[in-house]
Structure formats: C-alpha cells, structure tokens
A and B are shown apart, each in its own frame.
Chain A
Amino acid sequence: MSAARSLAARQAELVLALVAGGPPPPGFAPGPLAAARAALLRKRAGEVARHWPLLAAGLGGRWPTVFVEWAAGRPTAGGLRDGWDLARTLRARDALPPLGAEELAVREAGLRYDGQQPPRRRRLPAVGRASGAVALQLAGRVRLLRPAR
C-alpha cells in the first residue's frame, strides 16, 4: 500500500512537471523530459485548434507560438475551455484577430461560460460581443450580426 502511494505521488509529480510548470522530478533526464513537455503542448495546440478553428486560422503561422506561450505551465481544461480562455485573454490585450473575435462572439452568444465551470447552453436569447463582432442567439440558433472590426 505504501509502495502504491509512493508511485501515485511520483506520477503526480511527473504530470505536474509536464503540464503545470512543476519542478522536474529528481533523476529524470532533463532533455527528454523537456521534449515531452513541448510535444504535449504541440498536441494540445492541435486539439484547441480543432475546437477553435477560426481563432487558430486568424493567428495563422503565429498560432503555435501564441498558444504555447499562453498554455505553458497552465494545465488543460479541455480544448473548448482552453481556447475560450485564450481568446478572452487575447481580447483583453486587444490582440484577438477578427476571425477569432467572431468565433468568440458566436460562442459567448450560444453558451454561458464563467471561466470556472464547463460552458452551458444558454436557454434565453443572448448577444455575444468580442472586439466589435456581435452575434445573436435565439432559440439555440446563433447568427453573426456584425463582423469584427
């Protein structure tokens, strides 16, 4: 039992180092561990791009770098929420590309997301706005009313 607990602790330490910026666990070769950390971030960038294709397309060639800079040391909350959190962060910095703003506006109109709990479908009509883009949701159907600036 104590052995199993120690493996549990060591596995937790390793995951913390790989996805949450934790210190490298003792004894592991640093080069391969860094390669694994980078590979996880690249894989995650691909998953988030699948949930947020317009955000990724809007950033174009900068997508992997922008995502990895934001995601390094930040554990995933899943592709949908990761992309949502990143889009809001970029909006706050005035760095959200128009395509990403339109995608964010559409998402904000369709789903309620407080940044903590998983997004939930809105039951009442709602308007989503991001960097000039405006989307309207009525009875579950979302339309982009105005494109981003």
Chain B
Amino acid sequence: MTGPHGVGIGWRPEIAGFVAELPGLRFVEVVAETVPIAGPPPAGLVELRERGVTVVPHGVRLSLGGAEPVEPARVAHLATVAELLAAPLVSEHIAFVRAGGLEAGHLLPLPRTREAVDVVCANVARTQAELPVPIALEPIAALFDWPDDELDEAAFLGEILERTGALLLLDIANVHANARNRGTDPLALLDRLPLDRVAYLHVAGGAEHGGFYHDTHTDPVNREVLELLGELCARHRPPAALLERDGHYPPAAELRTELDAVADACGFPVVT
C-alpha cells in the first residue's frame, strides 16, 4: 500500500459521484467517524479502493488535545477503519473537541504550553499503540489563542512531532487563517516547520467575516491560499495535496477548476 500521492479530494457522500469520475485520482480522504465498522464501507469508497485509489481515514472526534485520556472506543474505531480501507496512514488534529461532558462541535485550540504538549503526546502515544499504521497530525485553524502561551506555533508543533514521531498533515489554509487572524507572517512559519515530515497537505476555502478569516470549507479556495501553497511547494513539495470541501458544493466544473488550481500550484499532474 502506497502513501498518498498527487492531488486528492475529501470524499463525501454528497460528491461521491463527482469523485468517482475523476480519471486521474489516486488519493482521497474520508472522515473516519462516518465510516461504519459493523457493515461494509460505503460502496463509493470500496470502488475507489478497487481502482487502487489510496483512502486515508481522517479523524475529527478523537480529541487528542483533551486533558482526559483519549477514549479507547474511538481509537479502536479509527484503527478498524484503517484496516477496512487498507489505509497506509490515518490523520487527526492537534486540538480538543470536548471537555467537562460537553461537545464543542468543532476543533478547539490548545494553550501552547509544555503541559499541553505533554497531554497531546500522551494521547498520541495511546493512539499509536492501537493503530496498525502511522498517524499524521494536523495543526488547526484557531480564531483565538489562550492567554498563557509559552511556545510559538513552530516550537509547539516541532516538539509534538519530535516526541511522538508522528507525521505532519499541514493544512495550508489553516496556516493562512492563523497568520491572517494573528497578524503574523505565514512564510516565517513555513520556514520553521519540518516540511520533510509532511505526509500530505490540506487545501480548503474560507471567507472573511466580521474582521476574521474563517476556515469554512464551504467557500472557494482563495488566491492567497493558492499562492501560499505555491510558496510551500517551492520550498519542499510534499507527496500529496488534498482539497477539502464540506458543504455548499459548487457545480462540478467549479470543483474541477479548484482541483486543477491545486495541481497547478503544486506542480502535480491534473486529476480531472
């Protein structure tokens, strides 16, 4: 089983027909929690697997950054999905999604403290112990920061990657979003990240709203994100880049144009 290569797209039931007809596609991602483990995986995914397309399970609910230990049942589910889909790796986020019995409904940022690094590393280790394949960790887009950050983003991520041995799933739209909302330089962050550890990239659309850039996944990919993608690939091109779209699906022609723009920015062959 090979790792992700070239341009991929997030497989969602709503666009399964569109994805099935992409002639050059070799890589998709599926939200791990949406894959049932009792029955067979969704037919669309099975067909892609039979075509030799790599399917990467992407977890969104593990809460690796939660102060409580990661729930064994959630880890077991992710591991089973990886086996069902013969995935070469899985991915999850450096974030927490619940606390004190309440679901946040989204990925929330951690304080960039040594304490939080310890919490994440412990949960990643618990997860790795059960997984049949490597895990790639994705830094999130955050609209706010904690008041007591001790480390900057690069040091925080670098420490977690080094201690866990995990791969990096770098979301270039998140890099843009955080730089835009914090008023920092996205290129300065790229220059300090271990780009040789990137398993694949995420690219997604967003929108300006109320003075913030929101990583919505329901809007088109904007020009700055594509430019940043080009800058990144000029430094060190990762093996693959995946377009994420999670709603307000545009007509097929527009989605093909976005996939081509991602391929163009990275210098990958078009898949459309």
Contacts and interface: CB of A to CB of B under 8 A. Distances in A.
Interface of A: 3-5, 7-16, 18-20, 26-29, 31-33, 35-36, 38-40, 43-44, 46-47, 75-76
A102 B199 CA distance: 48
Contact of B119 (A4, A13, A29, A35): A4
The SS class assigned to the A binding surface is helix
Given A5-B67, A12-B99, A40 B104 contact: yes
Contacts of B66: 8, 11
Contact of A4 (B67, B105, B146, B147): B67
B144 interface: yes
B99 A27 contact: no
B96 interface: yes
A12 B115 contact: no
A12 B144 contact: no
Nearest to A77: B103
B102 A7 contact: no
Given A7-B115, A14-B108, A76-B105, A36 B100 contact: no
A35 B143 contact: yes
B14 to A, nearest CB: 9
Contacts of B247: 46
B144 A32 contact: yes
A72 B67 CA distance: 26
B34 interface: no
24 contacts: A4-B115, A4-B118, A7-B116, A7-B119, A8-B66, A8-B100, A11-B67, A14-B99, A14-B108, A15-B102, A16-B102, A27-B147, A28-B144, A28-B147, A32-B143, A32-B181, A33-B144, A35-B210, A36-B144, A39-B214, A46-B247, A75-B102, A75-B103, A76-B103
B56 to A, nearest CB: 23
Contact of B115 (A3, A20, A40, A47): A3
Contact of A35 (B67, B98, B212, B218): B212
B212 A18 contact: no
A11 B105 contact: no
Interface string B173-213: 00000000100000000000000000000000000011110
A29 B144 CA distance: 8
Nearest to A47: B105
Nearest to B103: A76
Given A18-B108, A32-B181, A12 B212 contact: no
A68 to B, nearest CB: 13
